[in-house]
Amino acid sequence: MGNIRPTYIKSISAQLIRELSSEFGLDFEENKKKVEIFTNIKSKTIRNRVAGYITHKMRGRDRAKNV
């Protein structure tokens, strides 16, 4: 079973991917820095969860391209 993420994590991530998809990649650490730059999220936990979900989605896109 996988992680169940709250709707607000998914919606923030989806908006960032929709608007800035070229900025994000497959590396969590880089995505974490970019989420900090592009949002005003104060909480480290929320920022990391958003960055993790973005990384998860970007890896899924990468796998889909390679099929």
Q: Give a yes or no: residue 34 inside a domain.
A: yes
Q: Are 19 and 35 in contact (CB under 8 A)?
A: no
Domain ranges, residue 56: 26-67
Which residues does 58 contact at the CB level (< 8 Å), separation at least 6? 17, 24, 25, 26, 31
Average pLDDT over residues 28-45: 96
Whether 1 shows a pLDDT value over 80: the answer reads: no
Q: Give a yes or no: residue 33 inside a domain.
A: yes
Q: What is the pTM of this model?
A: 0.90
Q: Give the integer Cα–Cα distance in Å for 10 and 6.
A: 7
Q: Give a yes or no: residue 45 inside a domain.
A: yes
Q: Give a yes or no: residue 19 inside a domain.
A: no
Q: Give the integer Cα–Cα distance in Å for 33 and 21.
A: 15
Number of domains in the chain: 1
Q: Give a yes or no: residue 2 inside a domain.
A: no
Q: Give a yes or no: residue 15 inside a domain.
A: no
Q: Give a yes or no: residue 7 inside a domain.
A: no
Residue 4 confidence (pLDDT): 87
